[in-house]
Chains A and B, each alone.
Chain A
Amino acid sequence: MSQPLQKRMYIIMGIMLVVLLVYLFRLFQLQVLDSSYRRSAERNALRQITEHPARGLIYDRNDSLLVYNDAAYDLMVVPKELRTFDTLELCTLLEISKEELIKRIDKAFKWSKMIPSLIAQQMSKEDYGYLQEKLHKFPGFFVQNRTLRHYPHPIAAHILGYVGEVDAVAIDRDPYYEMGDYIGFSGIEKAYENELKGTKGKRIVLVDVHNRERGSFRDGEEDVKPMQGLSLWSTLDLTLQEYGELLMKNKRGSIVAIEPATGEILCIVSSPSYDPNLLVGNVRSKNYMMLVGDTIRSPLFNRALMAMYPPGSTFKLANGLIALQEGIITPNTIYHCPGGYRMGSHTVACHHAGSTNIYSAVQISCNTFFCKAFYNILSNRTKYPNIQSAYQSWKDYVNSMGFGVKFNSDLPYELKGIIPSVQYFDKKYRKSWNGNTIVSMGIGQGEAGTTPLQMANFMAIIANKGFYYKPHVVKAIGTKNNLNDRFKDRIYVHIDPQHFETIMEGMDLAVIGGTARSAKIEGIHLIGKTGTAQNPHGRDHSVFVSIAPKENPKIVVFVLVENAGFGATVAAPIASLITEFYINREVKRKDLEKRIIEM
Chain B
Amino acid sequence: MFIENRSRSSKGVDVQLIIYYLLLISIGWLTIYSSASNHIAQESFFSFNNVYTKQLLFIGTSLIIGFLILLIDSRLYVHYAMYIYFFTLLLMILVLFIGTDINGAHAWIKMGSFSIQPTEFAKFATALALAKFFNEGKTSSEKRFLWINASLFILVPIIIILLQKDTGSALVFLSFIILFYREGLTGWILLLGAIAVGISLFTLFLNEIYTIALLTTIFLVFWFIQKKDKKKMIRNVILYVASVIFVFGVNLGYQNILQDHQRMRIDTLIGKVEDPLGADFNVNQSKIAIGSGGFWGKGYLHGTQTKLNYVPEQSTDFIFCGIGEEWGFVGSMLVTSLFIALILRIIILSEKNRNQFVRCYGYGVAGIIFMHFFINIGMTIGLLPIIGIPLPFISYGGSSLWSFTILLFIFIKLNNN
- Show the binding face of A for B, using Cβ within 8 Å: 1, 5-6, 8-9, 12-13, 16-17, 19-20, 22-24, 26-28, 30-32, 34, 36-38, 40-42, 44-46, 83, 206-210, 214-215, 217-218
- Main DSSP-derived SS at the B contact region: helix
Contact in complex: A27, B381 (CB < 8 Å): yes
Most buried by A among B288, B310, B337: B288
Of chain B, the residue at the smallest CB distance from A210 is B309
Other than the given A31-B293, A83-B277, A214-B39, 5 more pairs (CB < 8 A) read: A40-B288, A41-B304, A45-B305, A45-B308, A208-B309
Contact in complex: A16, B39 (CB < 8 Å): no
In the bound assembly, the distance between CA atoms of A100 and B181 in angstroms comes to: 68
Q: In the complex, which of the residues A13, A26, A31 contacts B347, with contact meaning CB atoms closer than 8 Å?
A: A13
Q: 7 closest pairs, A vs B, by CB?
A: A37-B291, A41-B292, A215-B39, A208-B308, A45-B304, A30-B291, A31-B329
Q: Which of B211-230 contact A (CB under 8 A)?
A: none
Most buried by B among A31, A83, A214: A31
Contact in complex: B182, A30 (CB < 8 Å): no
In the bound assembly, the distance between CA atoms of A24 and B363 in angstroms comes to: 24
Contact in complex: A31, B290 (CB < 8 Å): yes
Q: Given the complex, which residues of B lie within 8 Å of A17, measured CB to CB?
A: 340, 344
Nearest-neighbour CB distance to chain B for A573, whole angstroms, equals 69
In the bound assembly, the distance between CA atoms of A286 and B307 in angstroms comes to: 46
B374 at the interface (CB under 8 A from A): yes
In the bound assembly, the distance between CA atoms of A40 and B363 in angstroms comes to: 41
Contact in complex: A44, B310 (CB < 8 Å): yes
Most buried by A among B370, B381, B382: B381
In the bound assembly, the distance between CA atoms of A214 and B37 in angstroms comes to: 12
In the bound assembly, the distance between CA atoms of A46 and B182 in angstroms comes to: 51
Q: In the complex, which of the residues A22, A28, A30 contacts B287, with contact meaning CB atoms closer than 8 Å?
A: A30
Q: Given the complex, which residues of B lie within 8 Å of A6, measured CB to CB?
A: 351
B137 at the interface (CB under 8 A from A): no
Q: In the complex, which of the residues B291, B329, B332 contacts A38, with contact meaning CB atoms closer than 8 Å?
A: B291
24 A-B pairs within 8 Å (CB atoms) are namely A5-B183, A9-B182, A9-B347, A20-B336, A20-B337, A23-B378, A23-B381, A24-B332, A24-B336, A26-B382, A27-B324, A28-B329, A31-B328, A31-B332, A32-B294, A37-B288, A37-B292, A40-B292, A41-B291, A41-B292, A44-B285, A44-B304, A45-B305, A208-B309
Of chain B, the residue at the smallest CB distance from A4 is B184
Nearest-neighbour CB distance to chain B for A190, whole angstroms, equals 42
Contact in complex: A37, B290 (CB < 8 Å): yes
Q: Mark B358-380, 1 if CB is under 8 A from A, else 0.
A: 00000100000010001001100
Q: Given the complex, which residues of A lie within 8 Å of B309, measured CB to CB?
A: 208-210
Q: Given the complex, which residues of A lie within 8 Å of B351, measured CB to CB?
A: 6, 9
Number of A-B contacts (CB under 8 A): 123
Nearest-neighbour CB distance to chain B for A340, whole angstroms, equals 89
In the bound assembly, the distance between CA atoms of A6 and B182 in angstroms comes to: 7
Contact in complex: B182, A5 (CB < 8 Å): yes
Q: Knowing A12-B347, A16-B340, A45-B305 touch, does A209 contact B310 (C-beta < 8 A)?
A: yes
Q: Mark B292-320, 1 if CB is under 8 A from A, else 0.
A: 11110000001011011110000000000
B383 at the interface (CB under 8 A from A): yes
Q: Given the complex, which residues of B lie within 8 Å of A209, measured CB to CB?
A: 285, 308-310
Nearest-neighbour CB distance to chain B for A569, whole angstroms, equals 73
Q: Given the complex, which residues of A lie within 8 Å of B302, measured CB to CB?
A: 218
Q: Knowing A30-B290, A31-B328, A38-B292 touch, does A206 contact B304 (C-beta < 8 A)?
A: yes
B18 at the interface (CB under 8 A from A): no
Contact in complex: B40, A41 (CB < 8 Å): no
Of chain B, the residue at the smallest CB distance from A19 is B374
Q: Mark B30-50, 1 if CB is under 8 A from A, else 0.
A: 000000001110000000000
In the bound assembly, the distance between CA atoms of A12 and B176 in angstroms comes to: 12
Nearest-neighbour CB distance to chain B for A219, whole angstroms, equals 10
Nearest-neighbour CB distance to chain A for B319, whole angstroms, equals 15
Nearest-neighbour CB distance to chain B for A272, whole angstroms, equals 55
Contact in complex: A12, B304 (CB < 8 Å): no
Q: Given the complex, which residues of A lie within 8 Å of B264, measured CB to CB?
A: none
In the bound assembly, the distance between CA atoms of A493 and B271 in angstroms comes to: 84
Nearest-neighbour CB distance to chain B for A212, whole angstroms, equals 8
Q: Given the complex, which residues of B lie within 8 Å of A1, measured CB to CB?
A: 184
Q: Given the complex, which residues of A lie within 8 Å of B374, measured CB to CB?
A: 19
Q: Knowing A32-B295, A46-B304 touch, does A41 contact B340 (C-beta < 8 A)?
A: no
Nearest-neighbour CB distance to chain B for A30, whole angstroms, equals 4
Contact in complex: A27, B290 (CB < 8 Å): yes
B98 at the interface (CB under 8 A from A): no
Q: Given the complex, which residues of B lie within 8 Å of A42, measured CB to CB?
A: 292
Q: Knowing A31-B329, A37-B292 touch, does A26 contact B381 (C-beta < 8 A)?
A: yes
B130 at the interface (CB under 8 A from A): no
In the bound assembly, the distance between CA atoms of A242 and B382 in angstroms comes to: 72
Contact in complex: B291, A31 (CB < 8 Å): yes
Nearest-neighbour CB distance to chain B for A209, whole angstroms, equals 4
Q: Mark B270-291, 1 if CB is under 8 A from A, else 0.
A: 0000000100000001011111
B125 at the interface (CB under 8 A from A): no
In the bound assembly, the distance between CA atoms of A291 and B39 in angstroms comes to: 50
